[in-house]
Amino acid sequence: MEIFGSTFDDSVFSEARERVCESLSSYNAKLCEPQWFCESAALDTDDSLEKQKVFKFRGDLALRQGNYQRALDAYSSCLQWIADNNLTIRRDVLEGMARCRTKLGQREQALELAELLNKEASNTCHLTSLLLLKVSIYQHFGCVGPQRSCLQQLCSLLPFNPWHWFNLGQTCLQLLDCDSDMERSSEAVNGESEEDQEGAAELTEDRVWLRACMCFIRTRLLLRILRQQQSSFVLQRSVKTLQITEEALQRLNPKEATLQALTEVMSEDLIPEKMREDYQDGESLTSVSLQSFRERWWSNVLLAGASQINGPQAKP
C-alpha cells in the first residue's frame, strides 16, 4: 500500500528541454549631452512623444531653478503633446503647473488646476498627492482653515502617517495664535468647506486647543512605534520631531486626566496587523470608505467624557 504523498510523477525527473538561444540584434544606446533638451534643435522632430519629453524636462529644470514663469510656459506646451491615455504624465504636468501658479501668486488658477486633478483621481495615491498639493497652496497663501481641512482628510485617508498628524497639530497651533474667535471662524468660512461642515461654534479656542492635543498625542504614539524600526537620518528626523511634539504638548499643558483620556482614544486602532494592511497605497477609491475626521476621531474624543477632557491646567 502506497503512503499518500510518497510517489512522484515521472515528469519531475525528466530532463529539461534544451533552450534555444536566439541571436539578438545589437543595441546602441542613445547618448545625450547634459541638458540636451534646452537646445533649440531638440524640437526639430515630428515625434510628439519626443516633443512632450523636451517640454517636460524643460519645465522640471526651470521649476527646480525657481524660474516659475518659464516652467509654467514649458508645462503648458508639454500639455498639448501628451497622449490622451498617458494620465500619469498629464497629472504630473498639471501638478507642476499648479505649483508654478502658486509661486507666481495666482491662487485661483492654482486651485482650478487642483480641481482638474481631483476630477481625474482614481486611487489613494492620486488623492494623497492632490491633498498634499492643496496643503502647499493654502499654506503659501496663509489660508489656515482650508489647510487644516485638507490635513484632516489626509489623517483620515492615511491614519498611521505621523507627519500628517504633526502638520495638523502645527496648523491648530497657528489657529490658536489668531487674534480672536472671529478670525478663526472667517478662516473656515472663506476657505474650502470641510466634509463635515463645521460651523463657527466648532472653532472656539477650547475646541482648537483640544484638537491640537489630539494631533500631537497621536504623533507621539506613532513615532514611538516607528522609531523602533528606523535608523540613520530617518531615526534622527523622528527623534527631532518627537522633541518638537513634546514641547508643543508642554505649551498646550493638558491636565493629566485629559492626557490619559486622549492617549487612550488615539491609540485604540494602533494594532500592528492593522497598521500593515489598512489603506494600502494605490487602492481604488471606489473600494475605500472614508469617514470624516469628526466621525472617526472627534466624536470618539467627545465620547471619552467631557468631565475628563478639559482645558490646560493652571501653571504655577
Q: What is the CATH number of the domain that holds 71?
A: 1.25.40
Q: Is 177 helix (H, G, I), strand (E, B) or coil?
A: coil
Q: Which residues pair with 284 in a beta bridge?
A: 123
**Residue 204 falls within a domain, yes or no?**
yes
**Residue 246 falls within a domain, yes or no?**
yes
Residue 152 and residue 227 share a domain: yes
**Residue 29 falls within a domain, yes or no?**
no
* pLDDT in the model for residue 290: 66
**Residue 195 falls within a domain, yes or no?**
yes
Q: Is 124 helix (H, G, I), strand (E, B) or coil?
A: helix
Residue 132 and residue 54 share a domain: no
Domain count across the chain: 2
> Which DSSP helix (H) or strand (E) runs through 54?
helix 48-65
* pLDDT in the model for residue 36: 84
Q: At what angle do helices 205-226 and 256-266 cross, to 10 degrees?
A: 60
Q: Nearest to residue 162, comparing CAs of 242, 260, 232?
A: 242
Residue 255 and residue 180 share a domain: yes
Residue 163 and residue 94 share a domain: no
Residue 268 and residue 150 share a domain: yes
Residue 180 and residue 56 share a domain: no
What are the grid coordinates assigned to 144, written together?
A: 489656515
* pLDDT in the model for residue 34: 87
* pLDDT in the model for residue 194: 45
**Residue 255 falls within a domain, yes or no?**
yes
Residue 244 and residue 148 share a domain: yes
- Are the C-beta atoms of 279 and 159 separated by less than 8 Å? yes
129 by Cβ neighbours in 10 Å (0-12 / 13-18 / 19+) ranks as: middle
**Region of residue 232 (left: phi > 0; alpha: psi -120 to 50; beta: else):** left
The residue assigned the cell 471662524 is 185
Rounded Cα gap, residues 194 and 134, in angstroms: 13
**Residue 216 falls within a domain, yes or no?**
yes
**Residue 88 falls within a domain, yes or no?**
yes
What are the grid coordinates assigned to 87, written together?
A: 494620465
* pLDDT in the model for residue 32: 80
Residue 189 and residue 268 share a domain: yes
Residue 61 and residue 89 share a domain: yes
Rounded Cα gap, residues 272 and 284, in angstroms: 23
From residue 290, give the alpha-carbon distance in Å to each of 158, 164, 286, 313: 10, 16, 10, 35
* pLDDT in the model for residue 206: 87
* pLDDT in the model for residue 12: 55
- Are the C-beta atoms of 105 and 143 separated by less than 8 Å? no
**Residue 78 falls within a domain, yes or no?**
yes
pLDDT along the chain (316 residues), means of 10: 53 58 71 85 88 95 96 96 93 97 97 95 92 97 93 93 96 82 48 45 79 96 90 91 96 92 91 66 66 83 64 54
The residue assigned the cell 531638440 is 42
Residue 144 and residue 80 share a domain: no
DSSP 202: G
Count the neighbouring beta carbons within 10 Å of the beta carbon of residue 294: 19
Count the neighbouring beta carbons within 10 Å of the beta carbon of residue 231: 8
Question: How many residues appear in the chain?
Answer: 316
Where do runs of H (alpha helix) occur along 158-180? 162-176
* pLDDT in the model for residue 243: 96
Provide the residue range defining the domain that includes 302: 121-281+290-310
